[in-house]
Each structure stands twice: as C-alpha cells, then as structure tokens.
C-alpha cells in the first residue's frame, strides 16, 4: 500500500512540475534560451507548455499506471519473468523517449525551425527531467519484490523507503 501512495505522490509532484513549475521556468528563467531571430517566443512557449509537455505527461502517466497494475498483480515466479519485465521496462522507457523526441520534432522543431541550438538542447533536457519525474521514479517505487531488480537504480533506494518488500 505504501508503494501505491508513494507512486501517487510522485505523479502529483511530476504533474505540478509539468503544469506549474515548468511553464514558470520557461517563461522566466529560460526565456532568453529560446530567443532567436524570427521566433515568436510566446507562441513557442504556448506550443511547448500547452501541448508538448501535456501530451508527454499523458503518455508517461499512462505507462506508469500500466506498470503499477502489471507489477502489483503478479509476483515474480521466476528469474525469466523478471528478465522479461526488464525488457518491457526498457522498451517502455525507450518508446517514451522516442515519443518525446518525435513530439518535439513535430510540434516544435518543424513549426519553429529558427529555434536556437541552445533552446533545442534545453528542450531535450527538460524532456529527460520529465521522463525521470514521471516514469523512472514512479516505476522505481511501484516495483515490489523481485521486480525491484528490473528498474535501473531501484537498488539505490533502501527497502524501508520502498515499502519493505
């Protein structure tokens, strides 16, 4: 039960990051990183915070919920099942990152080709932060028993912090 509460808390924190902190950071701290000749910065920010990161948030939360359901219902009966889940985790993480890159290309880079290289790098870094907050951390804390060995870095967190299982 503690794992489920932790996952919900992490998803809420990730949601607050996506819907409140990220737009604020982009409009205040990182505003000059996106400035380039011919770029309508406000339209760009609306596209990024209003569409790109919201769609990416939906993708991540959906996959995390699937992971939670999958790992809570089944116990790892064998090392082969744990290995299969490792492959599924990496596949999900890779697909989410690919989806983020594709969404960035379609929703931002194709519409705003004049975006500076620094802005592109910052945008990709923020996608990685979102991936960590909305997919990696929740799956770390949602994984129970032998499934803790599936998610990279889960072993770094003490069992007490992870619900003792």
Q: What is the pTM of this model?
A: 0.84
Assess if residue 84 is contained within a domain: yes
Assess if residue 159 is contained within a domain: no
Counting the structural domains of the chain, the total is 1
Taking residues 109-124, report their average pLDDT: 87
Cβ-count burial of 164 within 10 angstroms (0-12 exposed, 13-18 middle, 19+ buried)? exposed
Q: Are 135 and 66 in contact (CB under 8 A)?
A: no
- DSSP category for residue 161: T
Assess if residue 76 is contained within a domain: yes
Q: Are 9 and 133 in contact (CB under 8 A)?
A: no
- The pLDDT score that the predictor gives to residue 160 is 47
Per-residue pLDDT tens digits for 66-102:
988 888 766 666 778 788 888 999 999 999 999 989 9
Residue 19, CB half-sphere, CA atoms under 13 Å: how many?
10
Assess if residue 160 is contained within a domain: no
Task: List, in sequence order, the alpha helices (H) in the chain.
Answer: 2-16, 22-27, 31-34, 41-47, 53-73, 79-104, 117-131, 137-142
> CA-CA distance, 6 to 137, in Å (whole number)?
10
Assess if residue 149 is contained within a domain: yes
Assess if residue 23 is contained within a domain: yes
Assess if residue 71 is contained within a domain: yes
Nearest to 76 by CA among 164, 165, 146, 143: 146
- Show the domain range for 60: 2-31+39-153
pLDDT band at 148; cut points 50, 70, 90: confident
């Amino acid at each position: 039960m503690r794992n489920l509460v932790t996952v919900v808390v992490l998803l809420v924190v990730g949601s607050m990051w996506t819907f409140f902190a990220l737009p604020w950071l982009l409009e205040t701290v990182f505003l000059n990183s996106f400035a380039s000749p011919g770029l309508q910065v406000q339209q760009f920010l609306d596209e990024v915070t209003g569409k790109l990161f919201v769609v990416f948030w939906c993708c991540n939360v959906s996959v995390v919920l699937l992971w939670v359901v999958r790992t809570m219902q089944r116990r790892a009966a064998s090392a082969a099942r744990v290995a299969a889940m490792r492959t599924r985790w990496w596949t999900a993480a890779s697909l989410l990152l690919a989806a983020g890159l594709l969404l960035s290309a379609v929703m931002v880079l194709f519409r705003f080709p004049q975006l500076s290289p620094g802005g592109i790098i910052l945008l990709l870094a923020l996608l990685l932060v979102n991936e960590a907050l909305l997919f990696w951390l929740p799956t770390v804390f949602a994984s129970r028993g032998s499934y803790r060995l599936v998610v990279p870095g889960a072993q770094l967190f003490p069992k007490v912090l992870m619900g003792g299982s």
